[in-house]
Amino acid sequence: MKIGEIAKQTGLKVETVRFYEAEGLIDPPLRSGGNYRLYGRSHLDRLSFIKRSRDLGFTLDQVRALLRLSDDPRASCDEVDAIAEEHIAVIDRKLADLNALRSEIVTWGGSCKASSIAECKVMDALTSSRASVTT
């Protein structure tokens, strides 16, 4: 299949497919007589794995490591477990940050009974936060 078709089937952009190829995450595809890239089932499977991993928040380096590990099905799963544990820690930190942010926004919104933007506590809190970050 040509690059547009594999991009469509995987939900990736054509540029992203080219990027993953340039990064060495997928093998270079064969070329047609007209010099079009021709991708096979192995490319589709690998690109689908990459997309799913990226959608779940794995870094490009982690995806690269997972792909390397997937190339040797007899290898120990210990390194995969370590990558997963590292990613879980990142997810836990993000969840804690998001919960703290949610609580803060709920507090702002719950206390705002203003009738105009000039009196809005949410807008005031955002402005105050911005001012404290830039000073």
Please write the tens of the pLDDT for every residue from 61-96: 999 999 999 999 898 899 999 999 999 999 999 999
Tens-digit pLDDT profile for residues 120-135: 877 877 776 544 444 4
Domain chopping of the chain, boundaries? 3-75, 80-134
Length of the chain, please?
135
pLDDT at position 3: 96
Class of residue 130 by CB neighbours under 10 A (exposed 0-12, middle 13-18, buried 19+): exposed
Residue 111 has pLDDT above 80, yes or no: no
Top CATH class of 3-75 equals mainly alpha
- Mean pLDDT over each residue of the chain, to the nearest integer: 90
What pLDDT digit, counting tens, does each position of 9-26 carry? 999 999 999 999 999 999
Looking at residues 102-111, what average pLDDT do you find? Answer: 78
Q: State the pTM of this model.
A: 0.77
Among the residues of 40-120, which ranges form H helices?
Answer: 41-55, 60-70, 78-111
Q: What is the dihedral of CA 52, 56, 61, 65, to 10 degrees?
A: -60
**Residues in Cβ contact with 44 at an 8 Å cutoff, skipping those fewer than 6 apart:** 1, 6, 9, 10
